[in-house]
Chain A
Amino acid sequence: MPVPEHLEFFIDPSRCIGCESCVQACSECDTHRGHSMIHLEYVERSRTTQTTPVICMHCDSPTCAEVCPADAIKRTEDGVVQSARKPRCIACSNCVLACPFGVPKMKSDLELMMKCDMCYDRSSVGKKPMCASVCPSQALFFGTREEIERLRKRSAAVNRFRFGNQTVTTKVNMMVPRDARPEYIDVAAAMEEDSLGGDIMLNVLST
């Protein structure tokens, strides 16, 4: 069964409280065998309590899969990028180095790359992934777009990200403030096809 189309994943780092409930719950998903396949990043603990949960963004064209020399990373038809397949993975870490979001992690003791599979055993039957079920601040939210728009009036969901020459579209959405997009000054902004000239802010996130 595929993940129901009306259910989507939304991440809102502004809500993250760094509690690691998501990380702890990930290892409790039946198919994860005690391993957490997500992690929590401290942006810079010496200066802020800002943290962000790092789950897979489930890219439409996953860089991790594209660079895998062993073809160990598969994307299902419903857009979920799976963890590396044990019989194929050669633990080369290409995917770890290539992912623009810093998602995959190499489990050196298992010689296997493991990453979020959106709790496929759960999400493919309409259940919430473990992390989004437990997240106390609902920084990780799994539900319908109508729900998120009703609940999060201050934020907009984006799923297109620009990394240099690469634009990545993802199945998972990032919630960003409606009125405070990140400022990214780049001469390339004035070179955009639809630029009227004089643009200096490169749009790195777009809905």
Chain B
Amino acid sequence: MATLPVEKLQIIQEFGPHGAFMSGIRLDPGVEPDRIVKTHCCFCGQQCGIQLKVKDEQVIGFEPWLEFPFNRGMLCPKGVKRYLQGSHPDRLLNAVERDGSVPSGFKPIEYEAAIRRVAEAIKRIQNEHGPDSFAILTGASLTTEKAYLIGKFARMALRTANIDYNGRLCMVSAAAGNKKAFGIDRAANPWSDIPNSEVVWISGANVGECAPITTDYVWQARENGAKIIVVDPRITPIARTCDLFLPVKPGRDAALFNGILHLMIEHDWIDHAFIEGHTVGFDAVAASVKEWTPQKTADVTGIAVKAIQRAAEWWGTAKSSFLMHARGIEHHAHGVQNVLGAINIVLASGRIGREGGGYATITGQGNGQGGREHGQKCDQLPGARDISNSEHRAFICKVWGIEEADLPKAGVDAYEIIRKIDRGEIRGLISICFNPQVSLPDNNFVSQALDKLEFYAAIDFFLNETAQHADVVLPGSLHEEDEGTVTQLEGRVIKINKAVDCPGEARQDWKIIQDIAHALGREHGLTFASPAEIFDELRIASKGGVADYSGITYEKIENQFGVFWPCPSDDHPGTPRLFEPGSWNPVAKGSGPFYFPDGKARFNIAEYRPPVEDTDAEYPLMLTTGRVVSHFLSGSQTRRIGPLVEQYPEPRIEMHPRLAEQHGIADNDWVTAETRRGDTTLRAMVVTTIRPDTIFIPYHWPGRKSANQLTNSAQDPISKIPEYKACAVRIRKAQGPPDWEAELEPQQ
């Protein structure tokens, strides 16, 4: 059973989150490190280069890595303090199993015994209910080698179709939109193209807080004379000094892009030669945006007509441009439509595939790009191959040495896995680096589903909120305790280097996965001796695919500060910029730069639909959620790093003074926000930097502080991304602080 073994407060007392601060050797100014290890940050998709200082097998600090070209030493506060996870009091140093008779709810268990328990549970559940009754949920912080291995483990050792990843909550709308328009899912341009743009368009991206290093690129463009357009319901730090701010109402981005395209066509601000020579489907899209007059666009989006016209003119008449978007337009039940709308105005401008003419999504997670390309997504095989395509299946089966009949078909997305657990169709679960109890929407339902699992094993280095439900927890490795590659937001494959060994009984994640396979007696193809060996097989498995890594080696990565995929041969330097005229790819085979047989990009009608749950008399406001700069995703790591907790201790409800005044709320008052799924009581943050019809809550906290108690689990029909960014909510002034205020520390 996967209910909590004891009261949550008792678990927290033992396993945290507790805050770690600098202490001991880290405060000694005279210490010379034994070695300095070049690696990358363990958090977001920018994957900034960083050097870790190691003394006595402990990471004691960092030194900026000025030579790494993407960030040139720059780091956000998370990167600066990430090393405090090492030697953390909450660190799992041995395997534990649930035991309701001990105060903390979990007791230590010998590692081999824990592995045996997991293997026995897998066998028992699969024998009784079939292979698909056991699922795996993975995280996009895993190296590409681990993602490849766990994809192979799921399909070869467990033979389950049900593996998915938390990039499902992050990148999939952009990925699906990119595949529909370009046939490939990767940023079209390296970030070095941003400063050369005349116009930089940023939609739904809180760049200053969620991708801080990107700020420098954007503002370097501004120094060079660029105009910056920001579309967001909030005046975020990047919006404060932009040239044109469009305060879009949450969930209306497709309408805005359609309105912009309407004006581009009306004023003939389009590149006829590019559209004619390199695209398909323009006429249908042009017809579809006829109705999106400036007035209609303004009525739907909540943006002034003149601002829309100005944005269209700046975008339409620019000679070079860069359009970026992030979760703000993607976290919607029509996220793919929003992305397609964005791509349409890029394609109509013709400004793609050349220097200073770019388009990208800002990847959220450390390896959101690489993981899905090589196996942890329910419908993809290594090389970004399609699990439903018989040719692709045959290729991978040959590499893996299995019969095609033994390779499972596509499984379901992460949220559907939770629903299947709730319905009793999935009985067993392994999770690794994924904290769905905090990060999935409508998370009271997630808790209820987890309670129903017959067996649940978590692999992690901290006992996160989801792992509190586990039967067995296997002690995994921190980022700095293993090596491997990740692919950052530009599409640059980079190398994570090992700085220290795992402490205690903790193991590198790939070893734990292989140990389970061995205990199952299904270790065929899962006996790698190192990440380098895994990578060598991954290169073969990706060869000829869209995401071709076959020409990438660890040495080449070190020598070139990363290699941009695709890189199809040893002598190939990599591909920093996609879609350049005359470029070759394995799908078009020379007929054009885009990844379709005819080499042409696709215009797609971007259908506008309001949020699944729009405002009404009962719930008159829009709730939108997002991140703050000192925390990351479910906070399992950052809520354990003391200085980051101090920087932003607890979630607050951002609201406009006009809205606050209507409810008699002053800054710092306790306020209850309530949706049809749940409510939370938090302090108010009364600011003029948010639309008066919208409230914002950051989502990094668990339990009663969790914004995801409120959010809607409606999903995009194509990408299956949940609608985090828009649901109907109401607020009221609370009588006083909630119960947890007296019981919990800020990070708990």
Chain A positions within 8 Å of B, measured between CB atoms, are 14-21, 23-25, 27-28, 30-31, 33-34, 45-51, 128, 130, 133-138, 151-154
Contacts and interface: CB of A to CB of B under 8 A. Distances in A.
A188 B235 CA distance: 38
B66 interface: yes
Interface stretch (B3-11, B69-77, B171-179, B311-319): B69-77
Given A23-B77, A46-B686, A48-B688, 19 more contacts: A14-B241, A15-B219, A16-B237, A18-B208, A19-B208, A19-B209, A20-B647, A21-B75, A21-B212, A27-B22, A28-B62, A130-B64, A133-B64, A133-B66, A137-B208, A138-B219, A152-B223, A153-B223, A153-B225
B687 A45 contact: yes
B77 A128 contact: no
B688 A128 contact: no
24 contacts: A16-B237, A17-B238, A19-B208, A19-B212, A20-B629, A20-B630, A20-B647, A21-B74, A21-B77, A24-B77, A25-B77, A25-B80, A27-B643, A46-B667, A48-B235, A48-B688, A49-B208, A128-B73, A130-B64, A133-B64, A134-B75, A134-B80, A137-B215, A137-B216
A33 B27 contact: yes
Given A24-B80, A136-B216, A153 B75 contact: no
B22 A19 contact: no
Contacts of A134: 64, 73-76, 79-80
Interface in B12-55: 21-23, 26-27, 29, 31
Q: Chain B CB within 10 Å — which of A33, A47, A135, A152 has the most?
A: A135
A154 B630 CA distance: 30
Contact of A17 (B62, B209, B686): B209
B630 A135 contact: no
Contacts of A152: 223
B237 A49 contact: yes
A136 B213 contact: yes
Contacts of A21: 74-77, 79-80, 212
In the A-B complex, the 4 residue pairs with the closest CB atoms: A17-B208, A136-B212, A17-B237, A133-B64
B208 A47 contact: no
B236 interface: yes
Nearest to B26: A34
Contacts of B220: 151
A47 B685 CA distance: 11
A128 B65 CA distance: 11
Contact of B688 (A17, A25, A46, A154): A46
Interface of B: 21-23, 26-27, 29, 31, 61-62, 64, 66, 71, 73-77, 79-81, 208-209, 212-213, 215-216, 219-220, 222-225, 235-241, 629-630, 643-644, 647, 657, 667, 686-689
Contacts of A17: 208-209, 212, 215, 237-238, 629
Contacts of B81: 24
A82 to B, nearest CB: 15
A136 B240 CA distance: 16
Contacts of A25: 75, 77, 80
B689 A19 contact: no
A28 B84 CA distance: 11
A17 B79 CA distance: 16
Contacts of B73: 128, 133-134
What DSSP secondary structure best describes chain A's contact surface? loop
B236 to A, nearest CB: 7
Given A33-B29, A137-B212, A151-B220, A48 B240 contact: yes
Contact of B80 (A14, A28, A30, A137): A28
Q: Chain B CB within 10 Å — which of A18, A21, A25 has the most?
A: A21
Contacts of A27: 22, 643
A49 B232 CA distance: 14
A203 B29 CA distance: 44
Q: Chain B CB within 10 Å — which of A28, A130, A135, A151 has the most?
A: A28
Given A17-B215, A50-B240, A128 B64 contact: yes
A25 B48 CA distance: 15
A103 to B, nearest CB: 20
A132 B472 CA distance: 45
A25 B79 CA distance: 9
A87 to B, nearest CB: 17
Nearest to B236: A49
Contacts of A28: 61-62, 80
Nearest to A121: B29
A9 to B, nearest CB: 15
Contacts of A49: 208, 235-237, 239-240, 689
Contacts of B667: 46
A16 B237 CA distance: 8
A18 B29 contact: no
Contacts of A151: 220, 223
Q: Chain B CB within 10 Å — which of A46, A48, A133, A138 has the most?
A: A133
Contacts of B235: 48-49
Given A20-B77, A48-B240, A136-B212, A154 B223 contact: yes
Contacts of B76: 19, 21, 134, 136
Contacts of B643: 24, 27
A201 to B, nearest CB: 24
A176 B225 CA distance: 16
A136 B48 CA distance: 10
A135 B81 CA distance: 14
A110 to B, nearest CB: 13
Contacts of A138: 74, 216, 219
Contact of A19 (B29, B61, B629): B629
Contacts of B29: 30-31, 33
A30 B60 CA distance: 11
A175 to B, nearest CB: 11
Contacts of B629: 17-20
Nearest to B212: A136
A10 to B, nearest CB: 13
A50 B688 CA distance: 12
Nearest to B648: A20
Contacts of A33: 27, 29
A152 B224 CA distance: 8
Nearest to B220: A151
A14 B688 CA distance: 19
A47 B647 contact: no
Nearest to A32: B29
Nearest to A130: B64
Nearest to B240: A49
B569 to A, nearest CB: 36
Contacts of B647: 20, 24
Contacts of A135: 74
A23 B213 CA distance: 16
Contacts of B64: 128, 130, 133-134
A154 B222 CA distance: 9
Contacts of B74: 21, 133-136, 138
A138 B76 CA distance: 11
A28 to B, nearest CB: 6
A126 to B, nearest CB: 12
Contact of B77 (A14, A19, A137): A19
B237 A18 contact: yes
Nearest to B688: A47
A25 to B, nearest CB: 5
A162 B212 CA distance: 33
A151 B225 CA distance: 11
A191 to B, nearest CB: 35
B61 A137 contact: no
Nearest to A12: B219
A140 B687 CA distance: 26
Given A14-B241, A33-B27, A50-B240, A137 B219 contact: yes
B42 to A, nearest CB: 15
Contacts of B79: 21, 134
B562 to A, nearest CB: 19
A74 B75 CA distance: 31
